Amino acid sequence: MRPSSQKLAFHKMHGLGNDFVIVDARQQSVTMTNGLARALADRRTGIGCDQVILLEPSENADLAMRIFNADGSEVEACGNAARCVTLLVGHGARIETPGGIISGVPGDSGATLDMGTPCFDWNDIPLAYAMDATHMPVGWEELTDPIAINVGNPHIIFFVEDATVVDLERLGPIIENDPLFPERINVNVATVEADGSIALRVWERGAGLTRACGTGACATTVAAIQRKLVSGDTTVHLPGGDLDIEWTPNGTIRMTGPATHVFSGEIKLDDFT
């Protein structure tokens, strides 16, 4: 049982409006439960965030990062959070996540990350049964011919004429929770612009519509290159701002974008448990 006086220090940060409560448990041991993550993430009665990030020691990298969505579910990877953590650490670092190791280097106002290699096999997404994940023979209303990619976490991408008119708030949770996706899935709708950049909106599993999704930007760029819709490195326009994504087939994905430290604070744990 935690002492009633135990206090928890945290940092509030965001990457393009995708916001986080970051708890550094490398010195102060913290038991993060699904319920505690939900309480911290609550925008009315908690600190408020899209994801709660727990930093822990790692035997395989400089530190480990665990990611809890606002609904309390734990997920494998988060690119925007990794940029924030890299900025917070203040030097180049290898960050262990359940989805693999991410390498980050801080910059003037953000960070550049090596996100690792994407996976395209249906079993790696994962899907419930075998199919060609690069041209999936499935659809939900006007959203058809998707491509699914795992970039540390699972994404499905739909290329549409105008991403802004898709009712993603309604279709997102339907697709996220479809039985085809045993671990649920992040839903991306994208439009390739005339200059080769990509306009993107994301329904994030466990969090809902988000102002930015780093792994979504990575997955969508990889999908666009696979479909030959763009010829190489590109800029992804999200509601919260832009990310620059680089990928060469058979190589790793590089993402560059901003990260912002908003404030630091301290809470009493017994107020949230």
Q: What is the pLDDT of residues 155-177, one digit of tens each?
A: 999 999 999 999 999 999 999 99
- The answer to whether residues 109 and 152 belong to one domain is no
What is the CA 143 to chain-centroid distance, rounded?
Answer: 22
Both tokens of residue 3? 């002492």
Specify whether 215 is located in the same domain as 105: no
Terminal C-alpha separation, the chain: 11
Supply angle C-alpha 32, 34, 40, rounded to 5: 70
CATH value at residue 206: 3.10.310.10
Whether residue 2 lies inside any domain: the answer is no
Q: Which residue intervals of 207-258 are DSSP H helices?
A: 214-226
- 3-class DSSP state for residue 99? coil
| DSSP H or E segment with residue 175 | helix 168-176
- Same structural domain, 13 and 69: yes
Is the same domain home to 40 and 138?
Answer: no
Same domain, 211 and 105: no
> How does pLDDT run across 41-84, given as a tens digit for each residue?
999 999 999 999 999 999 999 999 999 999 999 999 999 999 99
Q: Which domain holds residue 190?
A: 122-251
User: Which residue in 51, 149, 147, 66 sits closest to 102, CA to CA?
Assistant: 66
Question: Domain check: are 24 and 145 in the same one?
Answer: no
Do 34 and 102 fall into the same domain? yes
pLDDT band at 2 (very low <50, low <70, confident <90, very high): very low
45 within domain boundaries: yes
The verdict on 244 and 160 lying in the same domain is: yes
Structural domain total, the chain: 2
Phi, psi at residue 46, to the nearest 5°?
Answer: -115, -155
What element of type H or E holds 241?
Answer: strand 241-246
Res 3: pLDDT: 44
Q: Does residue 238 contact residue 211 with C-beta atoms inside 8 Å?
A: yes
Spatial distance between the Cα atoms of 9 and 75, rounded to a whole number of angstroms:
22
Q: Is 124 helix (H, G, I), strand (E, B) or coil?
A: helix
Q: Could you read off the pLDDT of 75-97 as tens digits, one per residue?
A: 999 999 999 999 999 999 999 99
Summary mean pLDDT of the chain: 95
**Rounded to two decimals, what is the model's pTM?**
0.94
* pLDDT above 50: residue 116: yes
Residue 1 lies in a domain: no
Instruction: Return the number of other C-beta atoms located less than 10 Å from residue 264's C-beta.
Output: 12
Query: Rounded to the nearest 10 degrees, what angle do helices 214-226 and 79-89 cross at?
Result: 130
Percent of the chain as helix, strand, coil, to the nearest 5 = 20, 40, 45
Domain co-membership, 242 together with 209:
yes
Q: Are 136 and 113 in contact (CB under 8 A)?
A: no
Same domain, 98 and 167: no
Q: Which residues are catalytic?
A: 78, 213
Is 44 a domain residue?
Answer: yes
pLDDT tens digits, 232-256: 899 999 999 999 999 999 999 999 9
Whether residues 142 and 247 fall in one domain: yes
| 45, 154: one domain | no
Q: What is the pLDDT of residue 5?
A: 60
